[in-house]
Amino acid sequence: MWNALVDVERWPQWTASMRSVTRLGTEPFGPDGRVRIEQPRLPPMIWQVTRFEPGVSFTWVSERGGVRTEAFHRLVQGTDGLSVELGTAQTGPLAWLIGILYGRLTRRYIGMEAQGLKRFCESPG
């Protein structure tokens, strides 16, 4: 599951919440890595990895218009197997407004990403 999670440029193959994900730079995805993400109904955003624990989790941050969005991706080993936890947090003077305008869409996209990753990882081959 980790390999699929950090192969960010392939995300559009398993989740409709992503139109394109492009790594910026030539280094492998990891600490300080940057990507450009295009999603339906949202402006393109540049995300920078701020925390990276190989095989376990990564967090990235994007800033635009006075709002800082932090998104985490974490694998968790439970009694019934491996699962993924995804989430976001927004801060800044306009975070409340972005939450009102885009909160439902963000939650929907997070759900699509989790389900898409699950289907991709469970599919044969």
What residue ranges do the domains of the chain occupy? 2-122
Least confident window among 4-8, 15-19, 78-82: 78-82
Query: In the predicted model, is pLDDT for residue 73 greater than 70?
Result: yes
Q: What is the CATH number of domain 2-122?
A: 3.30.530.20
Give the pLDDT of residue 124: 83
Cβ neighbourhood burial of 30 (10 Å; 0-12, 13-18, 19+): exposed
For residue 99, which of 67, 73, 123 has the smallest C-alpha distance? 67
pLDDT of residue 35: 98
Q: What is the average pLDDT across 95-108?
A: 96
